[in-house]
Amino acid sequence: MRMRHSNVVVRRAALAITIGLLSSRTAWAEPSARNTPDAVVDRHIATFLARNWDQALLDYADDAVFMLPNGPLEGKKAIKGFFLSLDAQKPAPRFTASKASVSGDVAMEDWVMNAGQPGALKGRDVFIIREGKIRFQTTIGLGPAQP
């Protein structure tokens, strides 16, 4: 009789553990708040504006594609080269950016390069963010910025 009682206890414990695991499965599948598209693009914009290129690159997938008007950049190494080329310009361009709009895994933000300066340019970036990483980005110049 004692053996049968311990088997019942073990079965109930196993069932309780299984139910607990199944009910928390959705919590495991949900992305952390740090990796939502909103969080990724907000963090990316902040690190880009601070010119913290190494931190900005952490938000990209290894095989990310960044489409520029003069052609695509493929992979983090090429994207980093573009970022470093911004610093090489004299004077280096300065950017301001709006809060990004996000829908699903797509984000869009508007920016101004060299606001208040002659030749200031406004533009827009569009991102596709999946699994907490920027997979695709494009930037489009929208024309002269209003002074």
Whole-angstrom distance, CA of residue 113 vs CA of residue 120: 6
- State the total domains in the chain: 2
* Residue 61 and residue 14 share a domain: no
Instruction: Indicate the pLDDT class of residue 143, thresholds 50, 70 and 90.
Output: confident
Q: Report pLDDT digits (tens) over 86-139.
A: 999 888 899 999 888 999 999 999 999 999 888 899 999 999 999 999 999 999
Query: How much is the mean pLDDT over the chain?
Result: 82
Mapped onto helix, strand or coil, the DSSP state of residue 47 is helix
pTM of the model: 0.74
Q: Are residues 95 and 66 in the same domain?
A: yes
* Containing structural domain, residue 65: 31-144
68 pLDDT more than 70: yes
24 and 95 in a common domain: no
> Is the four-CA dihedral 97, 89, 40, 66 of positive or negative sign?
positive
